[in-house]
Structure 1
């Protein structure tokens, strides 16, 4: 933003967290130019669009409707809003959700519906989404279980307010900059999606077809596998992995089976995610011991595959611990068990979604798997380690650039609505 110039003159705002503002701007509490709409309705017919907290993207204020367009209940009284009003999430975890309604509709009562007056909705929305304002509103939230913001706290928040003509110029610049940055973000996000698709395709091909494109193939007889190299076996999983029912040791640390990180210590998972997890307090004596390079079938394996154990400890009693035999290379099966096609094969063995049962060792043993020699398994694992590392590094690099673009977008909006940059001539 170095090419943008500041205003020629500033004045002290008298508010520590706002500091100075352009000399000709006013600083006015939000309630002086915005009203709270308390309209409610029980009319939630199929032709009326409902907006819930889950339908608003945090931080950007974008409308991202979730599949199915969920509602509170079919008989609940909900908020009613009109085009141009602002829906502001009042629950403390959702204070970064503020959307300008582009149509008339109904919404969750966990939104405050604001009617801007004497201020453009885009500027008020931008102000509400700045970090400083969010912190100020957080300090006013009340409630023991789920703190909420109220209109009194929000209405008393001051806002720097330029003349209307200047508001229009600022809005124009903000919209242009957001459009430019969002276009870049969209392109980079699509690039990441393509990289992830390439990653999964590479894994699937390597673990089911091998690395030699000239090798003679045969039909595996298994739908999810398709053809495999002629010299490979296709065998049941129980020939390669045995079920361990060994109970936890007294000093075992608790492990968390995750799709994202594998099976890792619970404390490490909490640190990586930056949140606390409710720990089991019942049936601790029934927990199962697991060792490094075992595999675990967890409650989410139906959706995301079987997880590799990365630390010694214990897992929930309902989980299945798999011990590899000498005929299985842990690296190869780490990739195979997380491949989309294997997950589809695992899903085909179970109706547990309907009958409420977890996946068992019996489900696992029903899934036939491709089985090259241990040496070839090792070669495939080594190849994938290098190839996937390269792809993952590119994904990480691209994601960092997306994060920087989002930071720039946020910084530009903050600078615009606080008068740090003069956009009148833009």
Structure 2
């Protein structure tokens, strides 16, 4: 779709905004609101099991208010007290003003009782501004860049309400604001639908990948192979000629440790120090942090040779998955990791990694430590695990097969992610062009009443 431009432009007087259509106005946010910008209470309330929903940054991090991600519930009395300062209403705009999602916006689109916490700035438009037009302007690339330029850092990034209220917004005539908002609702809905299709494709590819791996490491590649009962309920039948040893009979487990943070001589060396945050890939050849030889010698960690299997055994990520990788270089580990090496040559590292990937959900249940304050794998459960082992030549064939098949699926997944990125960029560019007057969308859609907020943040 091609768009025309307005007939004439003028300087906005705002460096990050540039030119705007001649007949548009530009005002600071504080001049278009019906009440001063405010936020929620700066205290931590008690959170009973039920009550009034209490919304904070995590509930708006996707660009809409997600009541399934509220911080908790507050009592009727706390709600009444907080409402003396601010009471939400339909059409209010929230902007995250502190934390990793600073700048993300959402609009109140449901008439229900709730309240907000201090990380959210509440903006209520007056008669000069249409809430959904202002919402879109605040999602534009120009405004988001202005937020980035004006935030400050303490323990985390943040932007004060005094700064927010002085940031500029464009103000076309009200009918034009309505037209632009309606146009963006229509066009972004189309883009959102395409993004949703790509996201569904990614989920299907993920399920297909899991299924391919799971079948290969538990049933093998020969569909006609005779089967036997593994004796393990969650594993089921396996090929008759496969062994069923316990991990403890052929596996050595080595943990890690952390050198003292107080001693600078222990850090910024040349030894990769692997922690759960490095376990986002299947092959480890670097780490976010490095330690020195002195740091290694003065900690409970040790240098693990290349070719060993690395596994996360304690981390919040274990609620969802068990990260496993193979190291290509010698590494040290932190205390939340274990290195596995197979002592009798009966198991290939790559086969074990694929086996863990294929049975991830089942192993999470089998290995989970009960009653721990930190999510962790119980070492006894891990070592007692029975693993179906084909002969080495068959393991090699399975690994080669899975390398080929997962590479195909990973390529398709990468293409879908690239498509999503391009669509999101297109979405942001379209919003930015429309709300800053770089394109003229008058006549492309009739103004209409306000509709639901977008589901993808800018």
Q: TM-score, normalised by structure 1?
A: 0.87
Inter-partner Cα distance in structure 2 for 1:137 and 1:277: 34
Task: Say whether 1:347 aligns with 2:365.
Answer: yes
Inter-partner Cα distance in structure 1 for 2:213 and 2:382: 20
Give ranges in structure 2 of 5+ residues lacking alignment. 260-265, 445-458
1:63 counterpart residue number: 65
Q: Which moved more, 1:305-314 or 1:187-196?
A: 305-314
Runs (4+) of structure 1 exceeding 6 A deviation are: 41-45, 72-77, 245-251, 276-279
2:448 counterpart residue number: none
Deviations 1:137-175 (A, max 9, x none): 333334532343222211111222100011111011000
Task: Please tell me whether the aligned partners of residues 280 and 323 of structure 2 are also in contact (alpha carbons under 8 angstroms).
Answer: no
Task: Please tell me whether the aligned partners of residues 54 and 66 of structure 1 are also in contact (alpha carbons under 8 angstroms).
Answer: no
Q: CA deviation at 1:344?
A: 2.2
Inter-partner Cα distance in structure 2 for 1:116 and 1:357: 45
With over 3 angstroms needed to count, the CA separation of the structure-2 counterparts of 1:377 and 1:416, relative to structure 1, is same
Aligned 1:38-187 pairs, distance under 5 A: 38=38, 46=50, 48-58=52-62, 61-67=63-69, 69-71=70-72, 80-91=87-98, 93-102=100-109, 103-104=111-112, 105-117=114-126, 118-142=128-152, 144-187=154-197
Q: Which moved more, 1:42-51 or 1:110-119?
A: 42-51
2:262 counterpart residue number: none
Q: Secondary structure at the match of 1:81?
A: coil
Task: Please tell me whether the aligned partners of residues 326 and 349 of structure 2 are also in contact (alpha carbons under 8 angstroms).
Answer: no
1:321 counterpart residue number: 339
Inter-partner Cα distance in structure 2 for 1:184 and 1:240: 49
Deviations 1:165-193 (A, max 9, x none): 11111011000011111111111111110
Q: Secondary structure at the match of 2:144?
A: helix
Task: Please tell me whether the aligned partners of residues 256 and 336 of structure 2 are also in contact (alpha carbons under 8 angstroms).
Answer: no
Q: Secondary structure at the match of 1:368?
A: coil
Among residues 317, 325, 331, which one is paired with 2:350 in the alignment? Answer: 331
Task: Please tell me whether the aligned partners of residues 295 and 322 of structure 1 are also in contact (alpha carbons under 8 angstroms).
Answer: yes
Task: Please tell me whether the aligned partners of residues 52 and 71 of structure 1 are also in contact (alpha carbons under 8 angstroms).
Answer: no
2:263 counterpart residue number: none
Q: TM-score, normalised by structure 2?
A: 0.81
With over 3 angstroms needed to count, the CA separation of the structure-2 counterparts of 1:284 and 1:362, relative to structure 1, is farther
Inter-partner Cα distance in structure 2 for 1:277 and 1:50: 41
Deviations 1:368-418 (A, max 9, x none): 011110100110000000000000000000110111111101000000000
Q: Which moved more, 1:309-318 or 1:211-220?
A: 309-318
Give ranges in structure 1 of 5+ residues lacking alignment. 271-275
Q: CA deviation at 1:23?
A: 1.0
How many residue pairs are counted as aligned between the two chains? Answer: 413
Larger relative contact order (Cα-Cα within 8 Å, sequence gap ≥ 6): 2
Among residues 404, 411, 416, which one is paired with 2:429 in the alignment? Answer: 411
1:285 counterpart residue number: 299
Deviations 1:277-329 (A, max 9, x none): 999x8995211322222123321484423523322111124533211231111
Q: Secondary structure at the match of 1:254?
A: strand
Task: Say whether 1:190 aligns with 2:200.
Answer: yes
Task: Please tell me whether the aligned partners of residues 302 and 346 of structure 1 are also in contact (alpha carbons under 8 angstroms).
Answer: yes
Among residues 361, 367, 372, which one is paired with 2:390 in the alignment? Answer: 372
Q: Which moved more, 1:330-339 or 1:345-354?
A: 345-354
Q: Which moved more, 1:411-420 or 1:354-363?
A: 354-363
Task: Please tell me whether the aligned partners of residues 90 and 110 of structure 1 are also in contact (alpha carbons under 8 angstroms).
Answer: yes
Task: Please tell me whether the aligned partners of residues 309 and 325 of structure 2 are also in contact (alpha carbons under 8 angstroms).
Answer: yes
